[in-house]
Chains A and B, each alone.
Chain A
Amino acid sequence: MEKILSKRVGERIILLGNEAIVRGALEAGVNFVSTFPGTPASEIGDVFSRISKKAGVYFEFSTNEKVALEAAAGAAFSGLNSLVAMKHFGLNVASDALLPVVYTGVEGAMVVMVADDPGCWSSAQTEQDSRYFAELAHIPMIEPSDPQECKDFTKFAFEISHKFKIPILLRITTRVAHQQTPVKLSNIQYPISNIQKHIKKGRFSTMPPNVLRMKKELLEKTEKIRDFSKNFPINQIYRGPTSVKSKIGVICSGVSYLYVMEAIGELGLNLSVLKLGFTYPFPEKIVGNFIKKLQRVLVVEELESYLEEQVRAVAKDINPKLEIFGKDLPKIGELRPEYVKEAISKISGKKSKFNFKTHQQNFQKLNLLKRFPNLCPGCPYWLVFSGIKKAAPKNTIFGGDIGCYMLAGCPPHNIQDWLISMGSSIGIAHGISKIQYQKSNIQNPKVISIIGDSTFFHAGIPGLINTVFNKSNPLIIILDNGTTGMTGHQPHPGVGKTGSGEETRAIKIEDIVSACGVKNLKIIDPINQDEFVNTIKEFLDKKEVSVIIARHPCVFLKK
């Protein structure tokens, strides 16, 4: 029996933040869940993949995040409760559909869960702050700080989405997703399909002139939600036991709140703390009341100064003399408890007993090993990378993509000249191969890109079509290990199994490649090193795009 399905109401069990979101969704009566795996959000899909049948919830790994979001929107248009989960970059992919779905609204409820990764522990690309999507899309946003809140806020999210018939963003960060604490369980609402009527004709069509009417309704709805959030229990003020008249305050949200409370306890301070759970629409009234009588306020948040900018805007009218501190704290990387303690110590004048500066200086004197992540022993990519190195001439330019094979960029391999986003290995390879260095002594370089099977399905196909359509000749090596390795071995469209374990038709990558119009195509097990190396050499001389499907199962796949 999965403990996450426990029926013992009131019991406390230890859950990861992501697991608590799953439990919250179950307690809210979720019907439909879709995702594309990405750390730090992966466990949402992994858990639903195990329990969906038992819980009576529909679950799928979709082809990419945009498709996942569209699937969830379809369910919510039809009156169901849907959850779609992704990592931050997934929201970029999904955003094209997200923005109009916020315009149209939904009939049931729709929760869009996004996990940011400050410090880029499991992310290349950028150190993105997804909170700005809330402003861009006018989608309400709530931010839990720990597993208990992950569960509770997920339920709130469904409630708010249902009440206002609008998708809602549930935004977390790595230290919330991968934090464990005991979580108190409530009842699971076994989902009932409550579709009463068909989708009303034209209801979700943004076709002009609807789109501007919808925008007007959305902006009105946003104000209603702002008003509603004033009394919603997830924006809270904490005051120290004797701090009625403290002139110093702290505003924070998410995991930062935990560092703030820790620091205040350690320093023995009586500051007032405003913890924001509802961060879009920005709760101006609550913030205004909080800062009205303060002399100094510290805004503690990871990444950009999203809250700080809005606090400054509110302060301008309400308390123009207020001293506002914020991004003395780093904008790069995660916050840490000691950084927050130092910042609070500075604005309050209360010294910490521990000399952090000296400690840090002593620490920096140590001789630390640099450890790069490693391909697993027995991983077929060892053979792929060594084959590429044997075959490629010196001036070859190497394109990388998102997956385990990003490690091509690490020693001892060092064959990665760009790494941008899902599918970009092919899109950029096209651009580079189109360049002709005619008027210089530079020889036209060869271009080799590597892309994994799951990533190819996700975002590689349009790029590949473009190489044929617009006539370029990179060599694309598709690494087909039969799974989504990096994020924990989830199935993809080539596998023949769905996220809930049902049989489905396995889509062959070679069929897609051929259908895209690629003429130079070979499927090779890289264990046949000579054939692999010779084919790379042969294909690098072609005038048209070439594809090698390097097919060998991930070492973790059950035989």
Chain B
Amino acid sequence: MKKDFNIVIVGTGGQGLITLLKILAEAAMLQGFDVRTSELHGLSQRGGSVECHIRFGKKVFSPLVEAGGADLIIALEQNEALRACYYGSRQKTIFLLNKLNIFTPASSGKTLTIDRISGDLKKFSKIVILLDGSEIVKKETGAIVATGIYMLGYAIHDSLIPLKEKFILEAMKGIIKEKYLELNLKIFNL
């Protein structure tokens, strides 16, 4: 691995971003990396745009990923993926996008088609990967709220994140409530 690895996770409030962040942070620590995260609480969570950052490596200082500095962007919602382009660059960014369009009465503006969005994302990334995450999770388990865990599973199994699966699983065991653990492990391995 080069000196550090930078992930930005975006979505809307209530999509479980903070759980995802905690799992990644714990796993990075277990693997012996220095790790920092940044998240936002309060008003920003109420269905608004949510953005979490995690950086790990030998030594990291900033809790925020810099503009164009993301190695991986996980977008749990397609319109939010566009906002995350701020952190993407053609040189290195991989976009992992869940095809899901959330538009509430408190949104304003025009939603774009997934083709248009993925076209825009290409200008800010090396690779764009589109997933039917929410659909697959809904079909297999009904637990659409755990789509983030599916995305994490995809990223780990495809080696998009330089973290070992055993550390991710160990972190999940410590962070996810026991009664939901089995379900989450199943979704992780879908």
Quote the shortest CB–CB distance from A127 to chain B (angstroms).
14
| A487 near B42: Cβ-Cβ < 8 Å | yes
| A40 near B41: Cβ-Cβ < 8 Å | yes
A253 at the B interface (CB under 8 A) = no
Q: Which residues of B contact A95 (CB under 8 A)?
A: none
Contact among B63, B86, B104, B108 for A179, CB-based, below 8 A: B63
Q: Which residues of A contact B106 (CB under 8 A)?
A: 371-374, 407, 410-412
- Residue-by-residue, is B129-168 near A (CB-CB < 8 Å gives 1, otherwise 0)? 0000000000000000000000000000000000000000
| A374 near B105: Cβ-Cβ < 8 Å | yes
- Residue-by-residue, is B97-115 near A (CB-CB < 8 Å gives 1, otherwise 0)? 0000001111111111000
| A180 near B25: Cβ-Cβ < 8 Å | yes
* A551–B65 alpha-carbon span in the complex (Å): 44
Q: List the A residue with the shortest CB-CB distance to B65.
A: A337
| A178 near B40: Cβ-Cβ < 8 Å | yes
| A181 near B36: Cβ-Cβ < 8 Å | yes
Task: Bin the interface of chain B by size.
Answer: 35 or more
B182 at the A interface (CB under 8 A) = no
A244 at the B interface (CB under 8 A) = no
The 8 closest A-B pairs by CB, nearest first: A122-B42, A39-B42, A374-B47, A373-B46, A262-B62, A337-B66, A372-B106, A261-B61
Interface residues of A in 145-184 (CB under 8 A from B): 146, 174-175, 178-182
| B46 near A374: Cβ-Cβ < 8 Å | yes
**Which A residues lie at the B interface, using CB under 8 A?**
12, 14, 39-40, 42-43, 121-123, 146, 174-175, 178-182, 255, 258-259, 261-262, 265, 336-338, 341, 354, 356, 359-360, 362-363, 366-376, 404, 406-407, 410-412, 486-487
| B66 near A371: Cβ-Cβ < 8 Å | no
* A406–B45 alpha-carbon span in the complex (Å): 14
Q: List the B residue with the shortest CB-CB distance to A14.
A: B25
Q: Which residues of B contact A368 (CB under 8 A)?
A: 79, 82-83, 109
| B61 near A265: Cβ-Cβ < 8 Å | yes
Contact among A39, A354, A359, A374 for B104, CB-based, below 8 A: A374
| B43 near A121: Cβ-Cβ < 8 Å | yes
If A255-B63, A336-B66, A359-B68 touch, does A367 touch B109 (CB 8 Å cutoff)?
A: yes
* A173–B107 alpha-carbon span in the complex (Å): 28
Quote the shortest CB–CB distance from B90 to chain A (angstroms).
10
| A371 near B43: Cβ-Cβ < 8 Å | no
Interface residues of B in 31-75 (CB under 8 A from A): 34-49, 60-69
| A359 near B63: Cβ-Cβ < 8 Å | no
B89 at the A interface (CB under 8 A) = yes
| A180 near B36: Cβ-Cβ < 8 Å | yes
| B64 near A175: Cβ-Cβ < 8 Å | yes
* A534–B34 alpha-carbon span in the complex (Å): 61
Contact among B21, B44, B103 for A122, CB-based, below 8 A: B44
* A182–B22 alpha-carbon span in the complex (Å): 11
* A40–B25 alpha-carbon span in the complex (Å): 21
Quote the shortest CB–CB distance from A179 to chain B (angstroms).
4
Interface residues of B in 6-28 (CB under 8 A from A): 12-13, 21-22, 25-26
| A336 near B63: Cβ-Cβ < 8 Å | no
B170 at the A interface (CB under 8 A) = no
Quote the shortest CB–CB distance from A105 to chain B (angstroms).
34
Quote the shortest CB–CB distance from B162 to chain A (angstroms).
18
Q: Which residues of A contact B34 (CB under 8 A)?
A: 181-182
| B48 near A354: Cβ-Cβ < 8 Å | no
* A382–B21 alpha-carbon span in the complex (Å): 32
Quote the shortest CB–CB distance from B123 to chain A (angstroms).
7
Q: List the B residue with the shortest CB-CB distance to A38.
A: B42
Q: List 7 A-B contacts (CB under 8 A).
A: A180-B39, A262-B62, A362-B124, A363-B86, A363-B124, A368-B82, A373-B47
| B61 near A14: Cβ-Cβ < 8 Å | no
B76 at the A interface (CB under 8 A) = no
| B41 near A122: Cβ-Cβ < 8 Å | yes
| A373 near B44: Cβ-Cβ < 8 Å | yes
Quote the shortest CB–CB distance from B131 to chain A (angstroms).
20
Q: Which residues of A contact B29 (CB under 8 A)?
A: 12, 14, 182
* A215–B167 alpha-carbon span in the complex (Å): 57
* A360–B68 alpha-carbon span in the complex (Å): 9
B120 at the A interface (CB under 8 A) = yes
Contact among B48, B61, B104, B112 for A258, CB-based, below 8 A: B61
* A33–B117 alpha-carbon span in the complex (Å): 49
B94 at the A interface (CB under 8 A) = no
| B22 near A371: Cβ-Cβ < 8 Å | no
| A411 near B105: Cβ-Cβ < 8 Å | yes
B85 at the A interface (CB under 8 A) = yes
Contact among A43, A123, A336, A369 for B111, CB-based, below 8 A: A369
Q: Which residues of B contact A341 (CB under 8 A)?
A: 66
| A356 near B67: Cβ-Cβ < 8 Å | yes
Q: Which residues of B contact A181 (CB under 8 A)?
A: 34-37, 63
Q: Which residues of B contact A376 (CB under 8 A)?
A: 46-47
Contact among A182, A374, A486, A487 for B35, CB-based, below 8 A: A182
| B42 near A42: Cβ-Cβ < 8 Å | yes
Known contacts A367-B112, A369-B109, then 4 further A-B pairs from the complex at CB < 8 Å, ordered by chain A residue: A178-B38, A369-B103, A370-B109, A371-B12
Q: List the B residue with the shortest CB-CB distance to A124.
A: B43
| A369 near B107: Cβ-Cβ < 8 Å | yes
Most chain B beta-carbon neighbours within 10 Å: one of A42, A369, A410: A369
If A175-B64, A179-B36 touch, does A372 touch B22 (CB 8 Å cutoff)?
A: no
* A261–B60 alpha-carbon span in the complex (Å): 9
| B85 near A369: Cβ-Cβ < 8 Å | no
Q: List the A residue with the shortest CB-CB distance to B116.
A: A367
| A371 near B42: Cβ-Cβ < 8 Å | no
Quote the shortest CB–CB distance from B41 to chain A (angstroms).
5
| B46 near A178: Cβ-Cβ < 8 Å | no
| B48 near A371: Cβ-Cβ < 8 Å | yes
Q: Which residues of A contact B120 (CB under 8 A)?
A: 366
Q: Which residues of B contact A179 (CB under 8 A)?
A: 36-38, 63
* A375–B60 alpha-carbon span in the complex (Å): 37
Q: List the A residue with the shortest CB-CB distance to B39.
A: A178
Contact among B44, B64, B104 for A121, CB-based, below 8 A: B44
* A40–B112 alpha-carbon span in the complex (Å): 34
* A412–B83 alpha-carbon span in the complex (Å): 23
Quote the shortest CB–CB distance from B180 to chain A (angstroms).
18
Q: List the A residue with the shortest CB-CB distance to B112.
A: A367
Q: Which residues of A contact B112 (CB under 8 A)?
A: 367
* A146–B124 alpha-carbon span in the complex (Å): 30
* A374–B106 alpha-carbon span in the complex (Å): 6
Q: Which residues of A contact B44 (CB under 8 A)?
A: 121-122, 373
| B64 near A407: Cβ-Cβ < 8 Å | no
| A412 near B105: Cβ-Cβ < 8 Å | yes
* A43–B47 alpha-carbon span in the complex (Å): 20
| B67 near A360: Cβ-Cβ < 8 Å | yes
Q: Which residues of A contact B68 (CB under 8 A)?
A: 338, 354, 356, 359
* A261–B63 alpha-carbon span in the complex (Å): 12
